[in-house]
């Protein structure tokens, strides 16, 4: 049994300000990851990154993809040129973003409006100021000119046969400060032919009820069908505000994948989309598209190269992870007891983690998952050992390979693939020359002793090379394995370089991937531990051994 359909629970609701729930319109999702999302501290996208992300967004089924700001960033000009040639969008319409014309400049003389036309998109979204103070204080012009800037820019783009969306910057703050002015700006955009009027919470501090209050005012003269919202998460309520606006009846929701964006980010589409589909029964994407959400979120996180918060709703790797003994024993009986949706619906999955908070049940679940059969007594001992190791910095949640070896060793099993005699690494730099790294390992494989040396761009690369060289004769399958991820974390960073480091390595071959861990004060030794365990687990997968 799943929780009741929330729509059913919410039936008959009236929202603040007398706005009735209207969920029968066709909602549009407008993605601005490539423009507003890339304002996030730490994000810097190349043109090919942007093309890749646009392709992914299209496959998710969003209605619009805001591609960038031509004329402001040269990279974005290039993006639109390449997008025309290389992007074959099936679901989404590409949008070029820009600003209204400058104060006291003719539209035809404004280079930025020209650059917007040059992007050759069907839709153009332009942002204009709707907070009176910003017109007089930031633009330093008068309010009438502020309205003309919006009206003339929209007209100009319409005259060039573009569909035009209008982003009303600072709308909610502006509507609070001077509702008449804010409405006159919206009205001018509407009268000039803007197809959507998007109310932006640029500073992000408005709560859902503030959004609804303003919507109530706006819809006194403008229809819901032309409205959209663009919310930022500064008060931690951008998702809820977007849902409230959707329920109220707006047509378009703007946001970013993984909640990227300046400051605290934009409304997270990876929450908004599944909430709309699963909780509010709004089919903004299809079932099949929704099932790609997890993979899309992680793929884009990889492209922007920022590790994804594992606790993100729906798409986090921990979002359906169970750790507490109470939960894991119950969930083993009935998985829906502690999950609000079946995680597969968004492409995620239930995970059990092994930790000191786990009970025996979690250990037994995990070992069963790994194909190891152990009895209750051993499970109890494994639990104790895990607690001891986690005390000194190990962490098996992301290192199932190392967990498997720990369990195996506790049954008396020992790896016999190879035995280390010694390794050494030498790194040297002379002024003006490139740095060199060289590693020598001495290992025994069966009766044979191998002494091999590897060079590499860095010490771990060199060690990896030397080890592979030593093992490849006996285990040719090692050629198919590769180090697919290498992460270093200082776990007591207050001690500086004398701190303990934890190295997590992911090794993969054509059959899958597995994580291993090493913990040591010396980053090289921690890496060595994770590296060798990665190889042992890989060999075990090809040459299974009973315990």
Beta strands in 118-260, from DSSP E residues, in sequence order: 123-129, 163-169, 196-201, 227-231, 252-255
Q: How far is the CB of 335 from a second copy (least distance, A)?
A: 12
| Secondary structure letter of residue 63 according to DSSP | S
Per the structure block, which two tokens stand in for 229?
């919202």
Q: Which stretch binds a second copy (CB under 8 A): 47-55, 288-296, 376-384, 476-484?
A: 476-484
**Alpha-carbon separation of residue 84 from 93, 98, 150 (angstroms):** 12, 18, 28
Residue 203 binds a second copy (CB under 8 A): yes
Residue 58 binds a second copy (CB under 8 A): no
Among 20, 108, 138, 191, binds a second copy (CB under 8 A): 138
Among 93, 141, 264, 453, binds a second copy (CB under 8 A): 264
**Smaller CB distance to a second copy: residue 208 or 228?**
208
Q: How far is the CB of 534 from a second copy (least distance, A)?
A: 10
Residues 284/30, Cβ–Cβ less than 8 Å? no
* Ramachandran angles phi, psi of 66, nearest 5°: -80, 115
Q: How far is the CB of 336 from a second copy (least distance, A)?
A: 9
| Secondary structure letter of residue 19 according to DSSP | P
User: What is the four-CA torsion angle of 367, 369, 370, 375, rounded to 10 degrees?
Assistant: 30
Residue 182 CA to its chain's centroid (Å)? 34
Residues 222-241 that bind a second copy (CB under 8 A): 233-237, 239-241
Among 28, 525, 541, 547, binds a second copy (CB under 8 A): 525
Q: How far is the CB of 123 from a second copy (least distance, A)?
A: 21
Residues 445/417, Cβ–Cβ less than 8 Å? yes
Q: Which stretch binds a second copy (CB under 8 A): 53-61, 82-90, 355-363, 376-384?
A: 355-363
Residue 491 binds a second copy (CB under 8 A): yes
Q: How far is the CB of 233 from a second copy (least distance, A)?
A: 6
Among 70, 71, 146, 265, binds a second copy (CB under 8 A): 265
Residue 42 binds a second copy (CB under 8 A): yes
Q: Which stretch binds a second copy (CB under 8 A): 34-42, 157-165, 284-292, 511-519?
A: 34-42
**Smaller CB distance to a second copy: residue 173 or 404?**
173
Residues 269-308 that bind a second copy (CB under 8 A): 271-272, 275, 279-280, 302, 305
Q: Which stretch binds a second copy (CB under 8 A): 22-30, 220-228, 267-275, 287-295?
A: 267-275
Beta strands in 457-542, from DSSP E residues, in sequence order: 482-490, 501-509, 512-520
**Alpha-carbon separation of residue 505 from 386, 462, 489, 525, 537 (angstroms):** 19, 15, 11, 13, 12
**Smaller CB distance to a second copy: residue 292 or 395?**
395
Q: Which stretch binds a second copy (CB under 8 A): 54-62, 183-191, 264-272, 407-415?
A: 264-272
Q: How far is the CB of 431 from a second copy (least distance, A)?
A: 5
**Smaller CB distance to a second copy: residue 6 or 480?**
6
Residues 419/399, Cβ–Cβ less than 8 Å? no
| Secondary structure letter of residue 223 according to DSSP | -
Residues 459/424, Cβ–Cβ less than 8 Å? no
Residues 5-24 that bind a second copy (CB under 8 A): 6, 9-10, 13-17
Contacts of 333 (CB under 8 A, 6+ apart): none
Residues 65-104 that bind a second copy (CB under 8 A): 72-73
- Helical spans, DSSP H, in 452-503: 459-471
Residue 30 binds a second copy (CB under 8 A): no
Residue 392 binds a second copy (CB under 8 A): no
Residues 336/342, Cβ–Cβ less than 8 Å? yes
Among 56, 189, 383, 437, binds a second copy (CB under 8 A): 437
**Smaller CB distance to a second copy: residue 497 or 510?**
497
* Ramachandran angles phi, psi of 254, nearest 5°: -100, 145
> Total residues at the site for a second copy (CB under 8 A)?
141
**Smaller CB distance to a second copy: residue 18 or 544?**
18
3-state secondary structure (DSSP) of residue 547: coil
Residue 485 binds a second copy (CB under 8 A): yes
Q: Which stretch binds a second copy (CB under 8 A): 185-193, 285-293, 389-397, 511-519?
A: 389-397
For residue 284, give the H/E element and its range: none
Residues 160-179 that bind a second copy (CB under 8 A): 172-173, 176-177
For residue 351, give the H/E element and its range: strand 351-352
* Ramachandran angles phi, psi of 379, nearest 5°: -60, -40
**Smaller CB distance to a second copy: residue 154 or 437?**
437
Residue 330 binds a second copy (CB under 8 A): yes
Residue 385 binds a second copy (CB under 8 A): no
Neighbour order of strands in the sheet with 482-490: 482-490, 501-509, 512-520
Q: How far is the CB of 240 from a second copy (least distance, A)?
A: 3
Residue 180 binds a second copy (CB under 8 A): no
Beta strands in 44-142, from DSSP E residues, in sequence order: 64-68, 93-99, 123-129
Residues 95/123, Cβ–Cβ less than 8 Å? yes
Residues 64/123, Cβ–Cβ less than 8 Å? yes
**Alpha-carbon separation of residue 159 from 113, 152, 154, 167, 194 (angstroms):** 12, 10, 9, 19, 12
Q: Which stretch binds a second copy (CB under 8 A): 90-98, 330-338, 405-413, 511-519?
A: 330-338
Q: How far is the CB of 100 from a second copy (least distance, A)?
A: 13
3-state secondary structure (DSSP) of residue 456: strand
**Smaller CB distance to a second copy: residue 108 or 480?**
480
């Amino acid at each position: 049994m799943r929780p009741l359909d929330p729509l059913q629970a919410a039936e008959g609701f009236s929202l603040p300000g007398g706005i009735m729930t209207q969920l029968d319109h066709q909602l549009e999702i407008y993605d601005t990851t490539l423009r507003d999302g890339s304002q996030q501290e730490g994000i810097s996208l190349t043109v090919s990154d942007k093309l890749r992300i646009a392709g992914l967004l299209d496959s998710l089924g969003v209605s619009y993809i805001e591609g960038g700001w031509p004329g402001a960033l040269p990279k974005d000009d290039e993006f639109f040129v390449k997008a025309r040639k290389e992007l074959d969008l099936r679901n989404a319409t590409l949008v070029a973003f820009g600003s209204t014309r400058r104060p006291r400049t003719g539209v035809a003389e404004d280079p930025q409006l020209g650059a917007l036309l040059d992007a050759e998109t069907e839709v153009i979204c332009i942002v204009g100021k709707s907070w009176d103070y910003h017109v007089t204080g930031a633009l330093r012009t008068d309010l009438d000119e502020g309205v003309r800037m919006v009206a003339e820019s929209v007209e100009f783009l319409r005259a060039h046969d573009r569909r035009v969306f209008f982003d009303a910057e600072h709308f909610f703050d502006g509507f609070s400060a001077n509702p008449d002015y804010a409405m006159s700006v919206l009205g001018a955009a509407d009268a000039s032919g803007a197809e959507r009027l998007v109310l932006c919470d640029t500073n992000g501090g408005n709560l859902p009820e503030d959004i609804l209050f303003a919507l109530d005012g706006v819809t006194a003269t403008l229809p819901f069908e032309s409205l959209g919202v663009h919310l930022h998460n500064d008060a931690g309520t951008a998702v809820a505000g977007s849902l409230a606006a959707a329920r109220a009846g707006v047509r378009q929701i703007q946001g970013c994948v993984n909640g990227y964006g300046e400051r605290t980010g934009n409304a997270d589409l990876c929450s908004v989309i599944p909430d709309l589909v699963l909780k509010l029964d709004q089919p903004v994407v299809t079932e099949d598209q929704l099932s790609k959400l997890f993979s899309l979120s992680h793929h884009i996180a990889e492209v922007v190269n920022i590790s994804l918060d594992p606790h993100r709703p729906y798409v986090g790797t921990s979002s359906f992870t169970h750790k507490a003994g109470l939960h894991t024993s119950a969930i083993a009986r009935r998985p829906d007891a502690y999950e609000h949706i079946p995680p597969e619906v968004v492409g995620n999955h239930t995970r059990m983690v092994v930790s000191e908070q786990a009970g025996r049940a979690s250990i037994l679940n995990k070992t069963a998952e790994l194909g190891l059969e152990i009895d209750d007594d051993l499970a109890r001992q494994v639990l104790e050992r895990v607690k001891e190791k986690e005390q000194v910095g190990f962490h098996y949640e992301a290192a199932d390979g190392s967990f498997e070896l720990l369990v195996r060793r506790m049954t008396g099993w020992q790896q016999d693939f190879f035995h280390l005699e010694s390794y050494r690494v030498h790194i040297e730099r002379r002024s003006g020359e490139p740095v060199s790294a060289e590693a020598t390992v001495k290992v025994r494989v069966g009766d044979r002793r191998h002494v091999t040396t590897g060079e590499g761009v860095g010490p771990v690369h060199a060690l990896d090379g030397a080890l592979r060289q030593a093992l490849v004769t006996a285990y040719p399958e090692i050629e198919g394995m590769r180090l697919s991820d290498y992460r270093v974390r200082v776990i007591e960073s207050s001690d500086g370089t004398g701190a303990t480091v934890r190295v997590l390595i992911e090794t993969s071959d054509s059959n899958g991937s597995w994580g291993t861990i090493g913990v040591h004060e010396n980053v090289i030794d921690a890496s060595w531990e994770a590296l060798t365990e990665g190889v042992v687990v890989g060999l075990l997968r090809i040459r299974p051994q009973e315990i």
